[in-house]
A = this chain, B = another copy of it.
Amino acid sequence: MTQSSKPRTLDELRAALRQFAADRDWDQFHSPKNLAMALTVEAAELLELFQWMSEADSTTLPPDRKAKAQEEIADVFLYLIRLADKLDIDLGAAAAEKIALNAARYPADRVRGSSKKYTEY
């Protein structure tokens, strides 16, 4: 497979993951319950990279850490695409809707520079 033929868009990635599971007969393990578990596990593996690191250090990772972060980020992404597919949810549309919802919920001129969102709930 040439570099240029690699799946890159959400649609291509979803199709590639469907094929991947079908080729291995792994659909049987991919209940939404299990995929949500796997997604959380991968998110925590990503979190682990940062757990004893200062916020400042987390902004400039050395190459080996960045490579590790990239792999964990990819794992989260793959399970997220797979879970959305299994639940028949359009990932791109869901994200677009949530951005619109957040924009209405947090008007820029009212929350600018404030961490209010983050401290009140």
Contacts of A34 in B (CB 8 A): 51-52, 55
Interface of A is mostly: helix
- Which residue of chain B has the shortest Cβ distance to A49 in the bound complex? B36
Determine how many copies of this chain the complex contains: 4
The answer, among B24, B32, B58, B95, for a CB contact under 8 Å with A61, is B32
Query: Would you call A39 and B76 a contact (CB within 8 A)?
Result: yes
Binding site for B on A (CB under 8 A): 1, 6-10, 13, 16-17, 20, 23-25, 28-29, 31-34, 36-41, 43-56, 58-59, 61, 66, 69-71, 73-78, 80-81, 83-84, 86-87, 89, 91-100, 102-103, 106, 108, 111-113, 115, 118-119
